[in-house]
Amino acid sequence: MLVSAVSVLLLASCGAAGGVRTAEAAGHVALIKGMDVSGADAAWFGTLGVNENGCLGLVGSHGEPATVVIWPSGTRLDDDGNVLDDRGRAIQIGDAVEAGGGEEPFVASYPEQAELCLDEPTDDDAVVIVLWTVTRASEPA
């Protein structure tokens, strides 16, 4: 188990292009900011999902393909490919997510990551959601 954790950690520290590093585990890819300095304040709600290329993102209420997310600094993946927030709390595929952040043009802002995560990495209309905060949504009472 320690070897798996070390492998995930080593993968997470590779590929820090444009201030964004790549973490991979269990066939899932997470794009993670290297450092948080400020951020957009739009509220995002969705379900944690995976796009066709294995990149983690948010699926909207209508079940459209997952929009790729750049996760806040401190985020990591566990051995099963679940997102662990900066406090180590797991967010699993299918969990509802509440987040704060904003959209950016994916290809223009993060071309190397777009190459990894998009079927059409030259799609100038593609967006990526850059998150500054993220939590698993509270269960209704």
**Which tens digit of pLDDT belongs to each residue from 1-35?**
433 333 333 333 333 345 899 999 999 999 999 87
User: Which pLDDT score, from 0 to 100, does residue 40 have?
Assistant: 61
pLDDT, tens digit, 9 for 90 and up, residues 30-78: 999 987 655 567 888 999 999 999 999 999 878 788 999 999 998 999 9
Contact 81, 91 (CB under 8 A): no
Inter-residue long-range contacts of 92-96, CB under 8 Å, 24+ positions, other chains counted: 92/48, 93/48, 93/49, 93/50, 94/47, 94/48, 94/49, 95/47, 95/48, 95/136, 95/137, 96/45, 96/46, 96/47, 96/136, 96/137
**What does pTM read for this prediction?**
0.81
User: Regarding predicted confidence, which is higher, 130 or 10?
Assistant: 130
